Amino acid sequence: MTLPEGGGSALKWPTARARRKVCAEFCAHIAAGYSIDSFPDADRRTIRYYAEQFPEDFPPARLEEAARRGLLEWERIGKDGARGELAKFNASAWTFAMKNRAGWRERTEPEAWPVWSGPEDSQTLETLKPRSSEEIALGVMALLTGKDMPKNGDGPRNAD
C-alpha cells in the first residue's frame, strides 16, 4: 500500500469506524502471540502510519496491552512446556522464539541480579559463592580446632 503523502492518495481505512475495526483485529492478532509482520491486512509501516495519524482510533494503550498479552501467550507456552504439559515441547526452539520476539538475550553477571537485590548486596552474595576444596578444608579445620579463619579470607594457600 502506498501511504498517503500530503493527502494525495486515498486512505486504506478512510472512516473512523473502519480504522477502529482494523485496530481491534490487529490487537486480537498481536494478543494471540502473532507478530506484527504476519498481520494479513497491512504491513508494519501501514499500521505505524495509522497509529501515528489516528491515535484516537489506534489507542497506544490498547496496542501496548495487546503486545503484553501476546508476550504472555508465549510465556505461557514456555511455562507449560517446562512443566511437561505440552507434548513434544522444544525448549530450544522456544528460546530462539523468545530471543527474537521478546528481545531475550544471555545476561552478563551485573545484569543477572534478582529483582529483589542489586549490586549493593554483592557482599552477601560473595559469601554464598562456591568455595574451593581447599577453602572448605580450611574452614572445617578451623571449626574443629576452634580457630577463626582470617576475616579478609587470606588464609594459608588461599586459592584466590
Quick: pLDDT tens for 76-117: 999 999 999 999 999 999 999 898 888 887 766 555 556 555
Q: How confident is the model at residue 144 (pLDDT cuts 50, 70, 90)?
A: confident
- Which ranges constitute the DSSP H helices of 4-159? 16-31, 44-53, 60-82, 91-102, 122-127, 133-145
For residue 111, the one-letter residue type is E
Q: What is the DSSP letter of 2?
A: P
The answer to whether 40 and 50 have CB atoms below 8 angstroms apart is no
CA angle (63 as vertex; 112, 5 as ends), nearest 5: 120
Spatial distance between the Cα atoms of 144 and 6, rounded to a whole number of angstroms: 85
pLDDT digits (tens, 9 = 90+) for 106-116: 766 555 556 55
Predicted TM-score (pTM) of this structure? 0.61
Contact 22, 58 (CB under 8 A): no
